[in-house]
Amino acid sequence: MKMTRKRFLQLCGLSLIAAIAKKVMQGAATSATSQSAKAIRWGMAIDLAKCRRKDGCSGCIKACHSAHNVPQFADRAHEVKWVWKQPFEDVFPFAQTQYTREVNAGLPVLLMCNHCDDPPCIDVCPVNATWRTDDGVVTIDFHRCIGCRYCMAACPYGSRSFNWQDPRPAIQKVNPNFPTRTKGVVEKCNFCEERLAKRLAPLCVEACEEKALVFGDLEQPDSEIRKLLRSRFALQRKPELGAGPSVYYLI
């Protein structure tokens, strides 16, 4: 059968319409599924004014360190920390003018692992002992850590500590429900991953009497943390590095 020019053009047009229709249908189907199974990204907002309300308060640090068996070494060279405080001018050196400098000098800022969106520490690990979970928590597999400390060098926030010696003698009272670490592994805040699995908020959030710490899902537009971050001015640590910290400081 000989094909006419008219018939050929008709067939071309029909197949084009069919191809476009298929694309449109597929697009609609994928957007529907991604809407229902949207990823979680845990984050925290720290209200600095509320955090400083009680002078010298360290309830969150104590709660975290005792529950997670964080050792307390007298020698600062061996220091291991999950949550800690540092003066404002060290944390946000460029977030001040010459007039606020005096006011903010020495004011403590609560620090912990930022659980970055694109964490540099996980890229450098040669054994995949540290990675970002689907919930946005940067976590460590202590079984796999070989203690090379590349991650410590890569972290721009100094969030990671190394166990230079056996931590057990330096733990006042071991919490048997959480493993201690061993000599030669790196450790840091895990956003209370073990509590998140039980749908509980991190310990520091629970321990804070001033309710200065707000924890929530940054991917949920109507979550408490997202409302706070919309309405208040907030700082991230070193945002220019592009790591995308999930810990925000409300000013």
Residues 49-68 that bind other proteins (CB under 8 A): none
Which one of 6-14, 138-146, 202-210, 232-240 is the stretch in contact with other proteins (CB under 8 A)?
138-146
Answer whether 247's CB lies under 8 Å from 44's CB.
yes
Beta carbon nearer to other proteins, 45 or 137: 137
Does 179 bind other proteins (CB under 8 A)? Our answer is yes
Beta carbon nearer to other proteins, 142 or 150: 142
Q: Is 202 exposed, middle or buried (0-12, 13-18, 19+ CB in 10 A)?
A: buried
Instruction: Compute the half-sphere exposure of residue 62: CA atoms within 13 Å on the CB side of its CA.
Output: 7
- What is the chain's alpha carbon radius of gyration, rounded to the nearest angstrom? 25
Cα 202 to Cα 45: distance, rounded to the nearest angstrom: 13
Among 177, 211, 222, 230, binds other proteins (CB under 8 A): 177
Beta carbon nearer to other proteins, 33 or 128: 128
Q: How far is the CB of 163 from other proteins (least distance, A)?
A: 10
42 — phi, psi (to 5°)?
-70, 140
Q: How far is the CB of 37 from other proteins (least distance, A)?
A: 16
Give the CA-trace dihedral at 228, 92, 72, 179, to 10 degrees: 50
Beta carbon nearer to other proteins, 23 or 183: 183
Does 182 bind other proteins (CB under 8 A)? Our answer is yes
Beta carbon nearer to other proteins, 133 or 223: 133
Among 123, 141, 209, 224, binds other proteins (CB under 8 A): 141
Among 56, 106, 169, 176, binds other proteins (CB under 8 A): 176
Does 39 bind other proteins (CB under 8 A)? Our answer is no
Beta carbon nearer to other proteins, 66 or 104: 66
Does 197 bind other proteins (CB under 8 A)? Our answer is yes
Beta carbon nearer to other proteins, 104 or 182: 182
> Which secondary-structure segment (H or E) carries 223?
none
Cα 96 to Cα 105: distance, rounded to the nearest angstrom: 10
The terminus-to-terminus CA distance of the chain in angstroms comes to 79
Does 161 bind other proteins (CB under 8 A)? Our answer is no
Q: How far is the CB of 128 from other proteins (least distance, A)?
A: 9
Q: How far is CA 229 from the centre of its chain?
A: 16
Q: Which of 113, 171, 176, 169 is nearest to 140 (CA)?
A: 113
Binding residues for other proteins, rule CB under 8 A, total: 15
Q: How far is the CB of 167 from other proteins (least distance, A)?
A: 9
How would DSSP label each residue in 145-188? -----HHHHH-TT---EE--S-SGGG-SS--TTS----TT-EE-
Chain residues in the site for other proteins (CB under 8 A): 133, 141-143, 174-177, 179-183, 193, 197
